[in-house]
Amino acid sequence: MFTKTVVLPVDIDEAFALITEPERLRRWQTVSARVDLRVGGDYRWTITPGHVAAGTFREVEPGKRVVFGWGWEGNPDLAPDASTVSITIEPVADGTRVTLTHEGLTDEQAAMHAEGWNHYFGRLEKAAIAGDAGPDEWSAAPERLDELSAADATLAVLQTVLRQLTSEDRPKQTPCADFTCHDLAEHLFGSMVAFGSMAGVEVVNPETGSLENRVATMGAQAIEGWRARGLDGTVPAPGGGEMPATFAAGIMPVEFLLHAWDMAQGSGTPLVVSDEVVAYVHKLAEQLVPGARGSSFAEEVAAPKGADPMERLAAFTGRRPVAG
């Protein structure tokens, strides 16, 4: 069993939101989160790219306590619902005390989860103070990159940029001709629907909420659909015919990362992404971009002197930094 307690400088309602609401969870613990917060409802949290925790809610007392099964998709040693996490919250003089207990683990599993919970509860404290713990170093360079873990990693990068966009940033021009920051976010809604369709799932646009929340929700639906489908065989191509599933899934990280860079350039927001992720996406782009020049991509341009890996990827896809 593992137990962890922290005191957050927020009230009960905010503390409960931080541990249960997808938009709050993405600010300290998850890349993406789907939550059906009721007894018998399920959750699915992508903690780091390619690592998905899942289970069922067993007790839900708003503002007091939540108990849920815990395990990992694809892990026969600790499958979803195989262990139990209890989180209680109570008011104290300095804010709200949050206590987590994780039961049903072997000694080895308890040690591994202790490292994880300590890491994320440290980020929870930061999020409670600042509103956002910032990019998670554990998500920056996944131990194993494939088309879907790269989609997770680049979706996290994209979400961080979108989260920082202000109303003043939305009309600003990006390196994509005729696209403002807001236009690109709207474009991404359509892309998410198309990505889901190729995997055989319907991606639903929430229609309301922040741009970050809408893109994050739709991106999570698309990636979840692809994980359920897998990368074998072929899928319908947007223009008709078929394409390899790996090729189709690889479009997601290319689009997520490039449009994150586009909006970061347009808004002046820092782009935080590891060289490892950029290098992997560049390899995917080398397969995708040449056949789409003149339609989806412009001709390659010269990278700036001393360009970093992201700037070289942008130049390969025909993008130039926003002047000034």
For 224-256, the pLDDT digits (tens) are 999 999 999 999 987 788 999 999 999 999 999
What CATH architecture does domain 2-130 belong to?
Answer: 2-Layer Sandwich (3.30)
Which pLDDT belongs to residue 324? 56
* Residue 187, strand partner residues: none
What is residue 187's three-state secondary structure? helix
Same fold, 2-130 and 138-316: no
Residue 138 amino acid letter:
W
The per-residue pLDDT for 237 is 87
| DSSP H or E stretch at residue 71 | strand 65-72
Number of H helices, E strands in the chain: 10, 9
pLDDT in tens, 197-227: 999 999 999 988 899 999 999 999 999 999 9
- Token pair in block for residue 87: 């989180």
List pLDDT tens digits, range 264-297.
999 999 999 999 999 999 999 999 999 999 888 9
What is the domain partition of the chain in residue ranges? 2-130, 138-316
Strand pairing category for 42-48 and 242-244 = unpaired
DSSP annotation of 174 reads -
Decide: helix, strand or coil at residue 310: helix
Residues with Cβ within 8 Å of 168's Cβ and at least 6 positions away in sequence, in order, are: none
Domain spanning 138-316: CATH superfamily: dinb family like domain (1.20.120.450)
Looking at residue 251, its pLDDT comes to 97
- Region 166-172: what's the mean pLDDT? 94
User: 195, 156, 163: which is closest to 48 by C-alpha?
Assistant: 156
**62 three-class SS:** coil
